[in-house]
Structure 1
Amino acid sequence: MKAGEKNIESIIEGKKQYIIPLFQRSYVWEKEHWQMLWDDLIELYYSKGNHFLGSFVTTPVVENTEKGPRKFLLIDGQQRLTTIFILLVILRDKAKEKNNKIKEEIDQTYLFNPFLEDEDRYKLLLTDLQGDKECFMHLLENQEIKYKNNLLFKAFNFFKKRFSEEDYDVRPFEKIITNNLQIVHVELNDDEDPYKIFESLNAKGEELSQADLIRNYFFMKINMEKNKKNEFYQQRWKPMQLKLEGNLSEYFRHFLMRTGKVVKKNEVYSTLKKLNDRSTPQEIRNYLEESIKFSNYYEELLFPTKRKNRKKDITDRITGLNEIECTAAYPFLLNVYHDYEEKHITEKEFIEILNLLENFLIRRSVCDKTTRYLGAFFPSVYDRAQKEHDFISGVTKQFLQQQEYPNDHEFKESFVNKQLYNNTAIKKVRFILKKLELFENKEPVDLENSKAITIEHVMPQKLTDGWEKHLGKKCHDIHEKWGNTIGNLTLSGNNSKLSQSEFYQKQKILADSPLKLNKYFINLNKWDEDMIIQRGRSLAEIALKIWPDFRI
């Protein structure tokens, strides 16, 4: 290892390429970081001097080629160097308008390796996480950007706007960036492990996500040559990361918890590390492969409609569990899903378990039972149920041992009287109404593919003069007590027409609806407190059939 003070020009010039290693995260700098750097640059522009940008840590990439550039992994300094390149791209584009010579100098000295081809042309090569690699190349090549929400593109627009606010000279600004920004360049020997260096550096730096730390840990521990690690990353890790769409940290938490342990959100990495630290490289590889396998189940829990060849009954039930927000049950569901895929349980048994879980969650939710302890409860359900003679009976037993499983009387009373509807429970209420609509319905409407069908308040959320007159003197008491209860809620595809309409207008539209739920309104000529309670009780009787008491 050797270290020395350098400027940006000295580390970029020449036939070189800096590669962001696969264990690094994507570009994450945002406006606060860009503004701080911009403020420092403006101070240098007007007062001269130097600015220390911190340390850059690199390690050489050994390749059997004489034609390509000297390649280095950038272990530390990714966010800063990437942002500097974005600034140089903007200066290049700005120079093109006035001085093509400066434009060519910036291109050939700082952005590209002249006379080289393909990816060897680029002085900086990003990872393809979050579309960073493609977005960055398009900025370099002055091509249209597909990833409008990518932080690289946002950074480009931020600095471009700052440059447009005043007529800054390109050459002085270029010299400030390349000569006046000082760094300490730490060059590792090629036999030093970059993964271990990265881990030790980031123990002191800006906090990484649990998924970032886990990714680095796995690639530090598995015994592969560098090119094989890159291949494994592209073929195995990257597809898992992309398909889970930002849920990777939470996935590993639930993957760990499926064994019965409770893992806090900020302890996922430390738990996984402790579990695997004494494992051999092959055991680590096996563990990683198992986690990739279970990630397929997790993807189907998160995005149940993605898989087209699965039985509709299963897709519908998993979709429903998503709508009632059952993430606490994911450790349990990962194990059950694995048993189903491995044919340890039948399709019928799998559906029965999903039904039991839905029943358990809906009855508790309607009766306002606390969810605080479910995160600690679900991880152990699977193992305890496995100890019973019959697994499904064991699951039922576990759910009933939660002392807060409501009986029929409590469930019915809450179903009628609870203010079910609020801004945080819209998906759950729509799910309940959908289940009521589909129960014993011989001509069901396709509710899954009809986004236009939404929740409608029969007595509107905001009373009009007409509704106040319709409800009488106690209108505001009635509205406050019953407005968001199940008896006053239905589904409709005509919400824009219904909205604040008076009941006689709503009654006609609802009566013409193809939905079974709305046939209730055909012969009604008023809608008051008694009618809301009466309909609520009618729907509660149906709910008792959909979600019957386990004990009966």
Structure 2
Amino acid sequence: MEAIASSFKRIVSDENFLEVPFFQRKYVWKKEQWEQLFDDLKASVLSRKEHFLGSVILKRNSGNRNFANIIDGQQRITTFSILIKAAYDELKDEQKKHFDPLLIEDYTDNDPKIKHCRVDRKIYTQIIQGVYSSGQKNEKNLKEGLLDCLEYFKIRIKEIDDVFDFLKFITDKSKLFVKVNLESTEDEQKIFDSINSTGMPLNATDIIKNALFDRMIKISDEEYALDLYDKYWRNIFEHDDKCLQFWDSQITTGRIKRSQSEIFLHAFALIIGIFDTDKHSLSDLSSVFKTYIQNKSKEELEDFLVLLAKYAQTYQKLPQITQNILFDFDEYENRFFHLGYCFGINSFLPLVLFLKQNLEEDEYKKALYLLEMTVLCVSETKNYNKFVADIISNLQNNLKNTYIYIREQIKKYYVKFFEHSQIEEWLNNIENNDAKVVLFWIELYRQREAKDYKDKTGLCYIYTLEHLAPQKWQENWSDIFKNEEEADKFIYKIGNMTLLKGRFNTALQNAAWTDKLNGNNKYKHYIKKYADLIINKELLNITQWNKATIEQRTVKIINDFYKIWNVNIFLEENNGSNQGF
């Protein structure tokens, strides 16, 4: 790797031409970015101080032609070159010759120095060659796209008194970029991670896509590769803005945010057996795929793309958990993914994707129920990745007894967590987040069972957790609890907790029971006001909240817990007929 501060002139002069691979995304910068770029450069020229625009990562072609692929920085380089073209058109003829090499490749019939991606190549070429159809738009109407970008800069360049000096400064006199040269054998993602101070990793998806279709071009031809790209990649990952937004949306994995596309590709790599959980991490994702495809034949790569597309379509059908979802108890997939979301567990995603792709719905539902209880009850998560990889590997060629196999594997590794004593110890001294999740689904379960709630449309996960006997109990609850130790024993039982829309003010949180229940004209919020939930309705006729009522309600909630999550599945020897929901 070679990284050096460079002017635009240095970047384009070191190669015969620069190429944006045909399968890279279209130009997406908009007016906001154009305005920022021009304002920064204008200020830089006026002050005669350099302004850093970012890094450009180039990868030298391994063949005989002297050119480089633009791996990262396509958007800023494209925008910068269009600004140059807009300024170039304002120069006198004798001045233009100094900037021709920045726009046009030497010894060609007016070919652009930058060969753009397939989607934008035609219009970009027309812009650089000056044969575009100018719209003569008003600046207010310029929003996006390559032509709008050109028109915007044509308007803004009128602000510059000496365009020739402006161009000299921004193209040659200023080292505006950090140019990173990669050799053909170097891994783009690892290099990018090591130089990027922001900690945001280069998207492995684009690197994998580039490697896939670069390989396909080399072993077939560009037309064949284009056809496969359209059918099995663009149509799945890039066919419209909504699709792009989905795959670009971020998920937090550990301490790092990764895009949906990277999370999917990791799951897919694990499913097909090329990702070793003992050796690889997410930062190795691109190199894992590149190693896998480097010796594949044309037919093997096409089969690979077909399978990739099938799994990607299945992945898109998995629930996406947000605050606005209306949850219903019987929507089992939403329930599973909501539990994973609340407990911060996504290690089971590859296995869930594999099961959804390969099982009939009834079998998939039963298997997901086993994993749901594991997410909920098992607190040792460090070996989940290995556990999931082993199950997938063993199920690849035999899905006949999937439910039984998964159940036995869970029993083998985690049976102690399903013991009633373990679960009841947890529910009798439970943390707020855990209690909120459990109470939410118990409420939905009770609504399903209650005749009065048959027409309910579900609940959003918008509640706050309230301790009925408060954590600060000394002022109004000293007749209930003798000391701190006794208070803690009851306050943190799940039976002493409920869900409310909004949080009580501090005075009411610590108030006596009758005030918390009825308000007594002193408080705006109180329990009776939020009695639309069944778990709150049962409180309305309780005149005194004490240790006995806390204990009774805890037992009742634990019984409902076992009705929903039948952990006996993992404890009994002959339990095939009792499979829960």
TM range, normalised to the smaller chain? 0.5 to 0.7
Aligned pairs for 1:331-480 (under 5 A) are 331-340=350-359, 346-364=360-378, 369-384=379-394, 390-403=401-414, 404-419=416-431, 421-422=432-433, 428-429=437-438, 431-438=440-447, 440-444=449-453, 450-451=459-460, 453-459=462-468, 463=472, 468-472=474-478
Distance between the aligned counterparts of 1:80 and 1:391, measured in 2? 47
Q: Which residue of 1 aligns with 2:497?
A: 489
One-letter identity of the residue aligned with 1:180: K
Q: 1:257 to 1:91 in 2, by over 3 A?
A: closer
Question: 2:192 matched to 1:206?
Answer: yes
Q: Which moved more, 1:428-437 or 1:291-300?
A: 428-437
| Aligned-partner SS, 2:464 | strand
Matches for 1:497-508 after TM superposition, within 5 Å: 501=508, 502=511, 503-508=513-518
Task: Assess if the C-alpha contact under 8 Å between 1:22 and 1:233 holds in 2.
Answer: no
Match in the other structure for 1:295: 312
Shift of 1:439: 5.8
Percent identity (aligned) = 18
Q: Where do 5+ consecutive residues of structure 2 fail to align?
A: 1-5, 105-110, 194-201, 238-243, 249-258, 519-525, 573-581
Is residue 274 from structure 1 mapped to residue 320 from structure 2 by the alignment?
no
**What does residue 20 of structure 2 align with?**
20
Aligned-partner residue type, residue 275 of structure 1: Y
Aligned residues: 466
* Partners of 1:210 and 1:249 within 8 A in 2: yes
Distance in 2 (CA, whole Å) between partners of 1:489 and 1:26 is: 52
Cα distance in 2 for residues equivalent to 1:270 and 1:460: 55
SS of match in other structure, 2:417: coil
| Structure 1 residue 83 displacement after superposition | 5.2
Structure 2: how far apart are the matches of 1:326 and 1:206? 28
Query: Which residue, out of 265, 269, 281, partners 1:252?
Result: 265
Aligned 8 A contact 2:339 2:376 in 1:
no
Amino acid across the alignment from 1:250: I
CA distance in structure 1 between the partners assigned to 2:185 and 2:43 by the alignment: 30
Question: Take 1:56 and 1:271, find their aligned partners in 2: how far apart are those partners?
Answer: 21
On the 8 A contact 1:430/1:454 being kept in 2, the answer is: no
Q: 2:234 aligns with which of 232, 235, 238?
A: 238
Could you tell me which residue of structure 1 aligns to residue 241 of structure 2? Answer: none
Return the offset for 1:408.
1.4
Shift of 1:459: 3.7
Aligned to 2:521: none
CA contact (8 A) 2:23 2:210 kept: yes
Greater alpha carbon shift after TM alignment, 317-326 vs 282-291? 317-326
Q: Is the 8 A contact 1:251 1:298 kept in 2?
A: yes
Query: Relative to 1, partners in 2 of residues 1:445 and 1:145: Cα closer, same or farther, differing over 3 Å?
Result: farther
Distance 1:496 1:26, change over 3 A: farther
Unaligned runs of 5+ in 1: 1-5, 60-71, 114-119, 148-152, 187-195, 341-345
CA RMSD across the alignment = 5.7
**CA shift in 2, pair 1:27/1:480, >3 Å:** farther
Match of 2:317, SS state, is helix
Change in CA separation of 1:297 and 1:485 when aligned onto 2, cut-off 3 Å: farther
CA distance in 2 between partners of 1:123 and 1:259 (Å): 37
CA 1:197–1:448 in structure 2 vs 1: closer, same or farther (change >3 Å)?
farther
Equivalent pair of 1:482/1:532 in contact (CA under 8 Å): yes
Deviation at 1:375, TM superposition (A): 1.2
User: Larger deviation: 313-322 or 263-272?
Assistant: 313-322
CA distance in 1, matches of 2:49, 2:402: 75
Q: Which residue pairs with 2:251 in the alignment? A: none
Q: Could you state the TM-score of these two structures normalised by the residue count of structure 1? A: 0.65
Residue matched to 1:189: none
CA 1:496 to 1:81, structure 2 compared with 1: closer, same or farther past 3 Å?
A: closer
SS in structure 2 opposite 1:491? strand
